C-alpha cells in the first residue's frame, strides 16, 4: 500500500478543494465576514460607550470621588453642594470640586453630554483648550473638538442648548470621545440648565498627599455615612454597567457562532457529500482517518480565518463610515483595542471549528469500498423524470428539501437561531413597552408629562410650580406628582423608588396585601417581589439611599417594575434624590377624556420644557425606546444579510447537486420561469420552516430568561400579531433573497451542458 500523502499535499488539497467551488467558498466566507464585522462594529460601540463614561466619571485629576450612596450610576446621583465645603475642611484635603453632568437630546446627537464645572476649580484643567480661552463667567460654553466640527461652530459664535443661548469661548480636547463630543459650562449655568439648584452629581476630591487616600476615605465614610466614597480607578457597581456595554460584541459573537457555525457546517457537509467517491479513493490509497479529518477541518478553518480577516476589514469600514454621522461619532473614540480584533479572529476560528467538526468526522468514517460506490444523486432516470415532471413544479417542494435531510435540518437550525433571536428581542422589547404603558396608565390618568429633551426617562425633572399651574386649569380634573429614583439593595440589581403624595389619585391603584399604604414621612411600602428578594416583612426597616424606612405595607400590583420596588412619601423622595420642589413625571386626569389629545398639545405649546402624551402612547415618544428600535432594526438587517447568505448557499448546493435533473426538466420543455418558480418555492418553503423553528426557539429562550431570579421579572415577553407578521415578512425576505441567485443560475443552465455535468 502506498505511503500516506505528505503534509504539503494535504495543504495543497485544502486550497484546491476550496477553489473548486468558488461561488460557494465566496458566499460562505462572506457570511462569516458579515457576522465578524458586526462583532467588531458593535464591540467598538460598546467599548466607546464604556470608555467614554469611564473617562467622564473617573478623572485622573482627583484622588477620591464622592456621590450619593446606593445610586446606580453617578449620572443619576445627587448631592447637596454644601457638603463640599464640609469635606474641604478635612486636614488631608487640598481641594473639592463639584460636578454636574446632564444628558441632552438634540437633533444632531440624541445623547449629548454637558458637564458643569467650577471655572476656578482644579477639574477644569482636565479640558485642554486648543482654541479660544477657558471659562470666565456665566452664559459661556466650551465645546469639545468633535462637537465644534459636527455643529460647525467656532470661538465667538453662539450655541443654543435647552432653548438658552451661550457664547462659545473655547474649544477643548481631552481624548475621551464622549467628552470631546459634548460641552462644558460653568457649574452655576449647569445647575440652572438641569434644575439642580444647590446640588451636584458628585464631588471630586484632591488630596494634599495622595498616599493618605485610605485614611481620608475612612474619615469621610465615618463622618458622612450616607454617601459613597470611591478611590480613583476603584471597581464599583458602575464598572459592572460599563462591562455590560463591552459585552455587546461578545453577545453577538455567540449568536454568530450559533448561526454562522451551522451555515459553515452546511457548506462543509455538502463538500463532503459531493466528494464522497474522492474520499473513498484517498482512504483506499492509504489515507488514515486522522488525515481526512485534518483536510476537511483545515478547509473549514481556512474559510473561518479568511472570513475573520475580511470581517475585520468590513468592521473597520463600518466604523469609519459611522464616524461620518454626528449622532454616533462621540461613541467611537479609542475603539481599536487589540481585544476587539482578537475576539473577532477567535470567533471566526470557532466558526470554522464548529462548522467543520461533524463533516470531518463523517468523512473519516466512510468505508473505502462504500464511498467509491456512492451515488451523488446528480444522475437521473429520464423515464422517471418524465413521469414526475408535473409534480415537481410546486407540490413537492418539501420532498425536494428533504432529499438531503441533514443539509436541510442544519439550514433550518442555523436560520432558526437567527430568527429566534429576533423573535425573543422584539417580544422582550414589546413586553417592556407594554409594562411602561401599564405603569403610565395604572393610576387611571389620561396624560403623562415628562421633561422635554432628555435622552433617558430616569433623568426627567419638572418644576413643581409647573404642576401647580397645570392643576389650576379648568379642563384638568386632578394631577399626581411622581418622583422616580433608583437605588441598590442586597439581592436586587435595581430597586426602583416611587415618591408619591398619598392625597393624590395615582396612589389609589396600589393593591396592599399586607399592612397599609404609606401615610407619613419615614414609611415605605414595598412590592411583593422586593419583599421576597430582600426577605423583608411589615415592621422591618429598609435602608434606601442611605436612610432607614419602616416597612408599613406590602403591595402586589402585578406590574414588575412596581412590585420589585417601593413607594415612599413624595417629600422624602425629593429629599433623598435631591429634587427639591421638583418631580420626575406628572400624571394628569382631564374632565373630558375625549379631549385629552388636544389638551396635551395645548400644554406642550404653553410649557415647552415638558412633553405631554396620552398615557397609552407615552412610550412612542421616549428616546429610550427610539434607541432600542434602532438597535433592533440593526439586528434584523444583520439577520437578513447573514441569513440570506446562508439560504443562498443552501439553495446553490441544491442546484449544483441537481444540475442533471434540471437539465432533464429543461430538455422536457420546462421554461426558465418554471425552473425559477420551483427553486424559489423551495427556498421560501425552507425559510418558512425556519420561521416556525425560530418562533419556537425565541419563545423558549424568553421562557428561560424569565426564570432568571434577579432580572427575570423585568423581561416579560409579549407576542403580538404584529410580531408574527414581522417574522413572516422576515422569513419570506430570507427565502426570496436566498433563492433569487440560485434560481437564476438554475434557469440559465443549458440542457445539454447540464446533462453532461459531473
Residue 571 shares a structural domain with residue 649: no
Any domain includes 352: no
Q: Are residues 560 and 646 in the same domain?
A: no
pLDDT top residue among 22 and 225: 225
Q: Is residue 304 part of a domain?
A: no
Average pLDDT estimate for 160-174? 89
Query: What is residue 481's predicted lDDT score, i.e. its pLDDT?
Result: 92
Q: Which of 619, 650, 665 is the last residue of a domain?
A: 619
Give the single-character DSSP code of 454.
B
CA 549 to chain CA centroid, Å, is: 36
Please tell me the distance from the alpha carbon of residue 400 to that of residue 658, in angstroms, as a whole number. Answer: 10
φ and ψ at 222, to 5 degrees?
-75, -40
Residue after which a domain boundary falls, among 587, 619, 651: 619
pLDDT at position 170 over 90? yes
Of 181, 202, 232, the one marking the end of a domain is 232
Residue 677 domain-assigned (yes or no) = yes
79-93, 196-210, 483-497, 570-584 — which is least confidently predicted?
Answer: 483-497
Query: With pLDDT > 70 as the criterion, what percentage of the chain qualifies?
Result: 77
Q: Domain check: are 390 and 468 in the same one?
A: no
pLDDT bin (cut points 50, 70, 90) of residue 402 is: low
CA dihedral 152, 153, 157, 160 (to 10 degrees): 90
48 in a structural domain = no
Write the CB contacts of 547 (distance below 8 Å, at least 6 apart in sequence): 226, 572, 576
Q: How many CB atoms lie within 10 A of CB 239?
A: 17
The answer on 675 and 526 residing in a single domain is no
In this structure, is residue 305 part of a structural domain?
no
Indicate if 453 and 400 belong to the same structural domain.
no
Hey, what's the cell of 620? 412612542
| Residue 387 pLDDT exceeds 50 | no
pLDDT at 388 over 90: no
This prediction's pTM:
0.66
Enclosing domain of residue 185: 59-232
Spatial CA neighbour of 567 closest among 580, 582, 551, 578? 551
> Is the pLDDT assigned to residue 326 strictly greater than 50?
yes
Contact 675, 443 (CB under 8 A): no
One DSSP character per residue, 545-557 reads TTEEEEEEEEE--
755 and 631 both lie in a single domain: yes
Q: Does any domain span residue 88?
A: yes
Asked whether residue 452 falls in the same domain as residue 565, the answer is yes
Q: What is the pLDDT of residue 567?
A: 94
Asked if 254 contacts 350 with a C-beta cutoff of 8 angstroms, the reply is: no
Residue 210 and residue 137 in one domain: yes
Are residues 464 and 609 part of one domain?
yes
User: Do residue 649 and residue 581 come from a single domain?
Assistant: no
Mean pLDDT across the stretch 448-467? 80
112 and 211 in a common domain: yes
Count of domains in the chain?
3
Pick the range with the lowest mean pLDDT from 27-36, 233-242, 282-291, 416-425: 233-242
The answer to whether residue 337 sits within a structural domain is no
Q: Are residues 211 and 222 in the same domain?
A: yes
| Residue 50 within a domain | no
Amino acid at each position: 500500500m502506498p505511503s500516506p500523502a505528505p503534509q504539503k499535499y494535504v495543504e495543497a488539497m485544502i486550497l484546491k478543494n476550496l477553489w473548486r467551488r468558488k461561488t460557494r467558498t465566496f458566499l460562505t466566507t462572506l457570511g462569516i465576514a458579515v457576522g465578524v464585522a458586526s462583532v467588531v462594529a458593535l464591540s467598538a460601540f460598546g467599548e466607546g460607550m464604556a470608555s467614554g463614561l469611564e473617562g467622564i466619571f473617573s478623572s485622573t485629576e482627583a484622588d477620591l470621588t464622592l456621590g450619593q450612596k446606593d445610586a446606580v450610576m453617578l449620572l443619576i446621583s445627587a448631592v447637596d453642594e454644601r457638603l463640599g465645603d464640609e469635606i474641604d475642611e478635612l486636614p488631608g484635603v487640598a481641594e473639592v470640586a463639584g460636578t454636574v453632568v446632564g444628558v441632552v437630546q438634540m437633533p444632531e446627537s440624541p445623547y449629548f453630554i454637558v458637564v458643569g464645572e467650577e471655572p476656578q476649580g482644579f477639574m477644569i484643567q482636565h479640558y485642554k483648550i486648543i482654541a479660544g480661552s477657558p471659562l470666565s463667567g456665566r452664559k459661556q460654553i466650551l465645546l469639545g473638538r468633535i462637537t465644534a466640527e459636527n455643529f460647525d461652530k467656532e470661538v465667538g459664535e453662539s450655541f443654543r442648548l435647552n432653548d438658552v443661548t451661550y457664547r462659545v469661548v473655547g474649544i477643548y480636547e481631552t481624548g475621551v470621545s464622549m467628552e470631546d463630543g459634548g460641552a462644558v459650562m460653568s457649574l452655576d449655568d449647569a445647575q440652572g440648565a438641569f434644575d439642580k439648584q444647590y446640588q451636584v452629581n458628585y464631588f471630586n476630591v484632591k488630596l494634599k498627599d495622595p498616599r493618605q487616600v485610605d485614611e481620608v476615605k475612612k474619615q469621610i465614610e465615618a463622618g458622612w455615612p450616607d454617601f459613597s466614597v470611591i478611590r480613583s480607578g476603584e471597581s464599583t457597581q458602575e464598572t459592572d454597567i460599563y462591562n455590560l456595554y463591552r459585552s455587546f460584541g461578545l453577545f453577538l459573537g455567540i449568536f454568530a457562532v450559533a448561526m454562522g457555525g451551522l451555515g459553515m457546517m452546511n457548506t462543509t457537509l455538502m463538500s463532503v457529500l459531493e466528494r464522497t467517491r474522492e474520499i473513498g479513493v484517498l482512504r483506499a490509497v492509504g489515507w488514515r482517518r486522522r488525515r481526512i479529518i485534518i483536510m476537511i477541518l483545515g478547509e473549514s478553518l481556512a474559510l473561518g480565518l479568511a472570513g475573520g480577516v475580511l470581517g475585520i476589514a468590513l468592521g473597520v469600514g463600518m466604523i469609519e463610515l459611522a464616524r461620518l454621522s454626528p449622532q454616533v461619532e462621540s461613541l467611537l473614540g479609542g475603539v481599536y483595542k487589540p481585544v476587539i480584533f482578537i475576539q473577532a479572529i477567535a470567533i471566526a476560528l470557532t466558526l470554522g471549528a464548529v462548522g467543520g467538526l461533524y463533516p470531518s468526522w463523517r468523512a473519516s468514517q466512510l468505508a473505502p469500498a462504500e464511498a467509491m460506490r456512492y451515488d451523488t444523486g446528480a444522475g437521473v432516470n429520464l423515464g422517471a423524470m418524465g413521469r414526475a415532471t408535473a409534480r415537481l413544479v410546486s407540490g413537492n417542494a418539501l420532498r425536494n428539501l428533504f432529499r438531503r435531510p441533514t443539509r436541510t435540518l442544519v439550514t433550518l437550525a442555523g436560520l432558526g437561531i437567527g430568527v429566534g433571536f429576533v423573535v425573543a428581542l422584539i417580544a422582550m422589547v414589546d413586553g417592556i413597552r407594554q409594562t411602561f404603558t401599564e405603569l403610565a396608565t395604572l393610576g387611571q390618568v389620561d396624560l403623562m408629562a415628562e421633561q422635554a429633551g432628555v435622552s433617558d426617562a430616569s433623568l426627567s425633572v419638572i418644576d413643581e410650580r409647573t404642576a401647580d399651574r397645570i392643576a389650576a386649569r379648568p379642563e384638568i380634573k386632578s394631577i399626581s406628582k411622581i418622583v422616580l429614583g433608583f437605588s441598590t439593595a442586597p439581592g436586587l440589581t435595581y430597586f426602583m423608588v416611587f415618591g408619591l403624595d398619598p392625597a393624590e389619585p395615582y396612589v389609589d391603584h396600589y393593591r396592599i396585601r399586607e399592612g397599609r399604604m404609606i401615610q407619613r414621612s419615614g414609611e415605605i411600602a414595598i412590592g411583593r417581589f422586593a419583599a421576597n428578594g430582600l426577605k423583608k416583612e411589615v415592621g422591618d426597616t429598609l435602608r434606601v439611599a442611605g436612610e432607614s424606612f419602616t416597612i408599613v405595607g406590602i403591595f402586589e400590583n402585578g406590574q414588575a417594575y412596581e412590585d420589585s420596588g417601593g413607594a415612599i412619601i413624595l417629600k422624602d423622595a425629593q429629599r433623598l434624590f435631591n429634587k427639591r420642589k421638583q418631580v420626575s413625571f406628572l400624571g394628569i386626569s382631564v374632565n373630558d377624556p375625549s379631549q385629552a389629545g388636544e389638551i396635551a398639545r395645548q400644554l406642550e405649546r404653553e410649557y415647552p420644557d415638558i412633553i405631554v402624551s396620552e398615557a397609552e402612547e407615552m412610550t412612542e415618544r421616549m428616546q429610550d425606546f427610539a434607541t432600542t428600535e434602532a438597535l433592533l432594526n440593526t439586528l434584523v438587517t444583520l439577520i437578513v444579510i447573514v441569513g440570506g447568505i446562508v439560504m443562498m448557499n443552501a439553495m446553490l448546493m441544491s442546484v449544483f447537486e441537481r444540475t442533471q435533473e434540471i437539465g432533464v426538466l429543461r430538455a422536457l420543455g420546462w421554461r426558465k420561469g418554471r425552473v425559477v418558480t420551483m427553486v424559489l418555492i423551495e427556498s421560501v418553503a425552507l425559510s418558512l420552516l425556519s420561521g416556525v423553528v425560530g418562533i419556537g426557539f425565541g419563545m423558549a429562550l424568553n421562557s428561560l430568561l424569565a426564570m432568571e431570579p434577579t432580572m427575570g421579572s423585568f423581561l416579560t415577553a409579549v407576542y403580538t400579531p404584529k410580531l408574527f407578521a414581522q417574522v413572516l415578512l422576515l422569513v419570506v425576505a430570507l427565502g426570496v433573497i436566498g433563492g433569487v441567485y440560485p434560481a437564476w443560475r438554475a434557469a440559465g443552465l443549458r440542457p445539454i451542458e447540464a446533462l453532461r455535468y459531473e
